[in-house]
Each structure stands twice: as structure tokens, then as C-alpha cells.
Amino acid sequence: MNSGIDLQGSFIETLTELGLPPGLAKTIWLPLPMLLMIIGATVGVLVVVWLERKISAAAQQRIGPEYAGPLGVLQPVADGIKLVFKEDVIPAKADPWLFTIGPALVVVPVFLSYLIIPFGQNLNVTDLNVGIFLWVALASIAPIGLLMSGYASNNKYSLMGGLRATAQSISYEIPLALSVLAIVMMSNSLSTIDIVEQQSGYGILGWNIWRQPVGFIVFWISALAECERLPFDLPEAEEELVAGYQTEYAGMKFALFYLGSYINLVLSALVFAVLYLGGWEFLVPLDHMANWLGVSETTPWLQVITGSLGILMTLIKAYFLVFIAILLRWTVPRVRIDQLLNLGWKFLLPVSLANLLITAALKLSFPVAFGG
């Protein structure tokens, strides 16, 4: 059952009981999921920015932010406020329309992708039957905004960064999609809810990471390249391109690029957790936990506890992957652009295609183990 519809019905029913007309109650509900999603994603980004500063400081044997709040937790908020109030400059010879639309075209698709992420068994905005397809489709829009921004800036470094971003995205989108397609084939569904539920029943042993060891490695490398994280940050390599496609940006437009980069990292970690790490599932099956406690799975207080712990499990898995991504930034050197493209086209593409074909063969040969 679609838990998003359950929440909607409960909310509208409550407002109706308070005396509001059903039409007005539905109108009030419409912006709430998107607003909650935007606020949640933004808070998640603030946490990641703080973690990036503290983990990078620890990797370099220094302290990091300390004075803006306890342990510097308010430093990301201070950075955001600074960017909001900085002057918004548009270069004299830039294309003002494309220059303005570019950052929005990068951020909006990433926000929309959060619609399909299930944070718990009863906590998802919508359960689309083509959720994974929607995520892959939306991921292909952001490079258009990057190329648009680089071209509109009328700057050679910005244009080079935009071209690199487009080439990099095209190179790694295909292996990413093929690795995801193997999961879809095993789950017999494009719904993120169905994919998580297909991994339930056996605890950690039922997670797709064990049945798709090659696919999860391809997915993670491709996701880092899609997020332009080191060692794949060629589109904005400071030593070569100043700041790439965002060289001419300042103020709120630059903040959108900054925000988009981090929410895309969190999104990729959440998708990875859903596809390969069982989403909200625990290390042991829920029925086993209920048997240990001597209660039924349908006990109300147990459902509340497991629901809360499910959200926590999803976030723990996602932020562990974020930690790995941050650690890689400070331990792995940047690759060259030719190495980047060779890795995508000459290695990851054939490996992901072979993995898909092997998955299809195993699904036909062992339908029980591979979701036939």
C-alpha cells in the first residue's frame, strides 16, 4: 500500500473533522510534502557540510570549525547566510537568461528525485511504479544546466568546465543505469518500496550487496563521478579551471551550485542504501526481533519503535557512505580527464553490461535466489 496516500488521507480527514471543506483541506496538503522534502534535504546538506569540514580537518590533523556553535555546528548556517546576502553579479558579456536559469536547472531535478526515496516503511512522499526510471531520467537533466551555465558565462574556464561536466555525466550515466537495471531485474519492479521489501526477510543476508557485488562497486564509482566528487572533480578542478562552470558565479546562484552538489551526494547515498543495503531494514528480520521480545509484529508500540529505528537505519547507512566519499576526497588524488573517460567507457561500461547479462542468466537459472 502506498504510505504516502495513507498520510494524505489521514491529514485531509483530520482537517475535514475540524470543519474545513474537503477541497480546502486538499489544497493545504499539496505543498506540504514538497516543503517537508526541501527542508529535510537542506538540513541533511548542512550536516554533510559540517561533517566534510570536521572529517577533512581530522584527515589533515587540524581542528576545523570550532567557534560557530558547539564544535562549529553552526558554521554551515553562517556560510549559507553569507552567500544569501552577498552581491549577485552577472558578467557584462554573459547571457543573463541562461546564466540565471542554469543553477536552477541543476538543483530542481535533484530535489524532485527525493520524492521516490523511502525513509521508512511508512515514510515516503510517493510510491511511483517507475520510481527508479524517474530518478535516472532526472539525473540526466543536471548536466544540461551545467553546460548552460558554462556557456552563458562567456568565460573559457567556465565553458571548459561545462563541457567536462557533460562528457563526464554521459560517460558514467550508462554504467550507473546498467547497474541499477540489474537490481530492477532481480526485484521485478521499478518501485523503490518494492526493491526494499524484496530485500526483507533475511536481515543483512538478504541485502542486494551480496547478490550484486560487481554492481554495487560500479554504482558507487559512477555515483561519485555523477556527483563530481574527488577523484572525479574534473569539471571544477581548481588547479586547472579556477572553479570550472561556477567561476563567474557569486551570491545566491553560487549557493545553488553548492547546495546542488551536496544534496546530490546525499541523494546518491540514499539511493545506494535503498538499492543495495536494504533501506530501512534492520540487520535481523523484524519477525525475529518480535519473537525475541515475545510480542506480535502488529503491536502498536513495536510498530512505532521499528518505524523510528527504520528511519535511523536509512540515515545511518546513507551517512556512512557520505563518510566514505569525504574520506576518499582527502586520500585519493585527482585523475586526468583522459583517465576519467577511459574508466567510464572502456572499463565500467563493459563490466556493467556483463554484470547485467550474468544477472539475467542467473535469474533464469536460479529464480528463487535471484527474484524470478
**pTM recorded for the entire structure:** 0.89
User: Once rounded to an integer, what is the mean pLDDT over residues 53-76?
Assistant: 88
Report whether the peptide linkage leading into residue 231 is cis, meaning its omega lies within 30 degrees of zero: yes
pLDDT at 5 over 60: no
What pLDDT, on the 0 to 100 scale, is given for residue 224? 93
Q: Would you say 4 and 127 are in contact if contact means Cβ atoms under 8 Å apart? A: yes
Residue 17: burial class (beta carbons within 10 Å; 0-12, 13-18, 19+) = exposed
pLDDT at 298 over 70: no
How far, in Å, CA of 59 to CA of 359, rounded? 39
Q: Decide which of 239 and 159 is more confident.
A: 159
pLDDT at 4 over 50: no
pLDDT at 354 over 90: yes
What pLDDT, on the 0 to 100 scale, is given for residue 299? 67
Scored b (16 or more CB within 10 A) or e, 177-205 reads bbbbbbbbbbbebbbbbbbbbbbbeebee
Question: Could you tell me how many helices (H) and strands (E) the chain has, helices first?
Answer: 17, 0
Q: Decide which of 33 and 103 is more confident.
A: 103
pLDDT at 7 over 70: no
Lowest mean pLDDT among 200-204, 242-246, 288-292, 343-347: 288-292
How far, in Å, CA of 356 to CA of 183, rounded? 9
What pLDDT, on the 0 to 100 scale, is given for residue 370? 66
Q: Which three cell numbers stand for residue 163?
A: 563541457
User: Once rounded to an integer, what is the mean pLDDT over residues 178-196?
Assistant: 91
User: Once rounded to an integer, what is the mean pLDDT over residues 138-153?
Assistant: 89
Reported as a pLDDT band with limits 50, 70 and 90, residue 294 is low
What pLDDT, on the 0 to 100 scale, is given for residue 36? 81
Q: What are phi and psi of 37, to 5 degrees?
A: -65, -45
Lowest mean pLDDT among 146-155, 220-229, 282-291: 282-291
Reported as a pLDDT band with limits 50, 70 and 90, residue 1 is very low
User: Once rounded to an integer, what is the mean pLDDT over residues 8-20?
Assistant: 73
Reported as a pLDDT band with limits 50, 70 and 90, residue 279 is confident
What pLDDT, on the 0 to 100 scale, is given for residue 3? 39
Task: Count CB-CB contacts under 10 A for residue 36.
Answer: 12
Q: Does an H or E element contain 197, and which?
A: helix 192-198
User: Once rounded to an integer, what is the mean pLDDT over residues 224-253?
Assistant: 84
pLDDT of 77-130, one tens digit each?
998 888 888 888 888 888 889 988 989 899 999 988 988 888 877 677 777 888
